[in-house]
């Protein structure tokens, strides 16, 4: 698929300024990020001195039009969209009081769960892995600082998830995104500022997509071709804009509700959800096709729940795959890139005594590989670490930035 006009031109140029990486030479820098479980040290090293400032980028956690709206770059991107191919649906109010849910003319997921667009020519949303007995592994709302224990655990378990990254988080902690890609996860977009997309104007929607693509391209060297709407909030107007910006929608068919715990939902209730989904792997529910599960790397609670349940998920299901793998997506990014050279990360002896001196070596294969090759590449990975989930649990930390992100997400 070809990036249209100005959109592709600007994103192609975006990789030239950030001082780190291109996808084929991606290596995690030798910084505390990869060697510590201390939150302060991790968060310092995940960040960068590079200034993601306007008009090149929006202000983080603000509308993606903030500081960018009047720039010639944004105007060119906006004008590159063929607006006659976008349905004339007004921005919605979330009360939805005036919306005809019976007819569901806009295929509005939030109102009806619709995933098969009504507007001609739109791709349907991806909702579930097609293979039987397959758990579709996805984590939203990263990257973030102080998640090394979680990414280390996924490495140990040889699991590659679909990671839906928020553009503002990528700008705040770019090395977190670099680690995600280098670890072989499937990187996808989760918009710039995590708003209800159907409530936004067309310029705001374009900006939310565009600047997330731009920051990911600049930081990691890749431009995702898949996205997940925050809160699942998508309709045919948003899908039509996304599709022109080379983004296909991925939602889910099972929701752990983990992001609401502890709070609106208790941790025990989320665990009950996990238990029910694990049982579905054994009772024939997924005998003919699989699932995609909504879960988050957002907080220590959501990551602890994920880590605690992965052994049971592995036991109950035939396989755990990310969306790229299970959908057989051969080109998850606009760029076509192949094998990334080996990445070494060395755990810090003082931070986690049990992990002293252990080294993890991972060979990452992504993007141009076929789904089969992507799956089989896992067998080529050398995972050698003494960490255990139990010892890593002791390294779970609380970070003020996470609390801020949570607040923003729950409004
Ligand atoms: Zn989210």
235: left (phi over 0), alpha (psi -120 to 50) or beta: beta
346 CA distance to ligand 1 middle (Å): 30
Please tell me the distance between residue 140's alpha carbon and the centre of ligand 1 in angstroms.
5
Length of the chain: 411
Helices (H), 71-201: 72-79, 109-112, 148-156, 167-172, 174-182
Between the CA of 409 and the centroid of ligand 1 the distance, in Å, is 7
Name the β-bridge partners of 248. 226
**Known catalytic residue at 140:** yes
Q: Which candidate, 384, 388, 329, 337, places its Cα nearest to that of 364?
A: 337
CATH of 5-86+122-410, one of 3.10.20.30, 3.40.50.300, 3.20.20.370, 3.40.50.920: 3.20.20.370
- Of the candidates 296, 25, 20, 46, the one whose C-alpha atom is nearest the C-alpha of residue 148 is 46
Å from CA of 189 to ligand 1 middle: 10
Give residues with Cβ within 8 angstroms of 248, minimum separation 6. 123, 125, 126, 225, 226, 227, 242
In the reported structure, the alpha carbon of residue 194 is separated from the centroid of ligand 1 by a whole-number distance in angstroms of 6
**Going by C-beta distance under 8 Å and a sequence separation of 6 or more, which residues neighbour residue 120?**
none
Q: Residue 95: which residues within 8 A CB-CB, separation 6 or more?
A: none
pLDDT value for 378: 26
Rounded to the nearest 5 percent, the helix, strand and coil shares of the chain are: 40, 10, 50
Distance between CA atoms of residues 326 and 42, nearest Å: 32
Whether residue 144 contacts residue 402, with contact meaning beta carbons closer than 8 Å, is answered with: yes
- What does pTM read for this prediction? 0.80
Question: What is the model's pLDDT at position 10?
Answer: 66
Ranges of residues in the chain with a pLDDT under 70 are 1-35, 96, 337-411
Going from the Cα of 350 to the center of ligand 1, the distance in angstroms, rounded, reads: 33
Quick one: pLDDT at residue 33?
55
231 CA from centroid of ligand 1 (Å): 6
Q: For residue 259, how far is its CA from the centre of ligand 1 (angstroms)?
A: 9
**Choice among 140, 152, 235, 387 that is catalytic:** 140
Both tokens of 16, joined, read 């030239």
SS3 of 5, please? helix
Ligand 1 center to 169 CA (angstroms): 11
**Other CB atoms within 10 A of residue 96 CB:** 14
Ligand 1 centre to CA of 250 (Å) is 12
Catalytically annotated residue among 147, 186, 190, 296: 296
In terms of Cβ atoms closer than 10 Å to its own Cβ (0-12, 13-18, 19+), residue 272 is middle
The answer to whether 339 and 363 are in contact (CB under 8 A) is yes
Bond preceding residue 375 cis, omega within 30 of 0: no
- Sequence spans of domains, the chain: 5-86+122-410
Q: Is 235 a catalytic residue?
A: no
C-alpha 41 – ligand 1 centre gap (Å): 25
CA of 193 to the centre of ligand 1 (A): 10
Give the distance, in angstroms, between the CA of residue 202 and the centroid of all CA atoms in the same chain: 23
Partners of 365 in the beta sheet? Answer: 339
């Amino acid at each position: 698929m070809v990036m249209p006009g100005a959109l592709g031109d600007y994103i192609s140029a975006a990789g030239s300024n950030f001082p780190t990486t291109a996808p084929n030479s991606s290596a995690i820098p030798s910084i505390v990020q990869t060697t510590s479980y201390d939150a302060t040290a991790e968060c310092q090293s995940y960040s960068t001195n590079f200034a993601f400032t306007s008009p090149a980028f929006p202000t983080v956690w603000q509308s993606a039009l903030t500081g960018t709206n009047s720039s010639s770059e944004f105007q060119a991107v906006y004008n590159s969209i063929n607006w006659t191919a976008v349905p004339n649906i007004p921005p919605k109010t979330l009360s939805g009081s005036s919306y005809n849910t019976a007819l569901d003319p806009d295929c509005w997921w939030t109102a009806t769960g619709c995933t098969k667009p009504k507007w001609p020519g739109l791709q349907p949303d991806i909702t579930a892995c097609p293979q039987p007995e397959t758990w579709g592994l996805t984590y939203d709302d990263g990257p973030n600082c102080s998640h090394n224990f979680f990414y280390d655990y996924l490495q140990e378990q040889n699991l590659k998830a679909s990671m839906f990254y928020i553009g503002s988080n990528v700008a705040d902690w770019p090395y977190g995104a670099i680690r995600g890609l280098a670890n072989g996860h499937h990187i996808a977009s989760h918009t710039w500022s995590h708003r209800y997309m159907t409530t936004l104007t067309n310029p705001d929607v374009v900006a939310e997509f565009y600047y997330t693509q731009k920051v990911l391209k600049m930081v990691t060297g890749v431009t995702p071709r898949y996205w997940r709407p925050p809160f699942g909030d998508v309709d045919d107007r948003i899908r039509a804009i996304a599709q022109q910006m080379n983004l296909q929608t991925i939602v889910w068919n099972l929701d752990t509700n983990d992001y609401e715990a502890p709070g609106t939902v208790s941790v025990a209730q989320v665990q009950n959800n996990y238990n029910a989904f694990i049982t579905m792997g054994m009772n024939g529910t997924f005998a003919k096709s699989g699932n995609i599960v909504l879960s988050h790397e957002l907080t220590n609670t959501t990551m602890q729940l994920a880590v605690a349940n992965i052994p049971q998920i592995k036991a109950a299901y035939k396989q755990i795959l990310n969306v790229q793998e299970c959908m057989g997506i051969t080109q998850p990014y606009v760029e076509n890139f192949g094998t990334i050279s080996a990445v070494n990360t060395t755990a810090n002896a003082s931070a986690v005594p049990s992990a002293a001196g252990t080294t993890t070596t991972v060979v990452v294969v992504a993007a141009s590989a076929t789904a089969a090759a992507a799956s089989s590449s896992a067998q080529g990975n050398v995972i050698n670490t003494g960490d255990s989930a139990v010892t890593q649990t002791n390294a779970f930390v609380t970070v003020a930035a996470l609390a801020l992100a949570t607040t923003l997400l729950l409004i």
